[in-house]
Structure 1
């Protein structure tokens, strides 16, 4: 995209936001510390705002700086427009309702983070001992120490003793030693 096209795009976004918020060019100019003519030049694409003015514009309209520029990635457009729409709507709410939106967003984020933490990688299954060699007490104890219940909870001492007994008994039966 040519620089002139980008300037026109940025200008049209500024104009759209300005009108959406019901501001005159003069009112917007005062809010960001420039002259009315500068806003007019932005809107027709003669000039493009520099970084400090872009920051002030994004604060006035409560949008991301990226929202003033054309996006090439369709996913980014969707995310950006969704966030932009949320900002536009919530900025029109009275403060008590804005707090409800904030609380809802916070609880959604917390729930999302909790869900991410809850996903645990499946443990790698490795043989506890060589099935063809004699089972030593050390191998048996290691197998019991590493054992956990089906839900991942550590075994109680009683469960460990039972598990140890069953492992020994099973191994001996499988090797005709019982």
Structure 2
């Protein structure tokens, strides 16, 4: 029984790694290099010959920008970690929702869907520099030309959208830097 559960876990991990790798459009070799393992080790995970350590699961999650449980759904159980704040909030939501009538449950569901949609829209605005560098190189002169740069996709270090004042200050500094050269 334990062997069967471990095999199912390994299959889930393999599927998730493959899914996120394909979404990124990178090869197994590129993924292995990015997370600091050999391509043959990654191949072993994909082909169910071995399971990644919790450290490798963390590296995969960090690289793909997802939670560890998105790679290994049993991570919390296997590593004996409890996400009390999240699980308690979800259990409270479930508890309260179960006490509501059907029409109010549907309102809660619709509200959650709208919140998720808004979150996804905000996430689309975040520019991951490594991804962008692979797609294109940016000419500094283009950064001062609003017609060539979508400033709405740029965010501050804490992930919040830039204010108009910050955008203007950045353009002025970049323009001054170009003039000096």
TM-score tier after normalising by the smaller chain length = 0.3 to 0.5
Question: If the length of structure 2 is used for normalisation, what is the TM-score?
Answer: 0.43
The structure whose Rg is larger is 1
Q: TM-score scaled to structure 1, two decimals?
A: 0.44
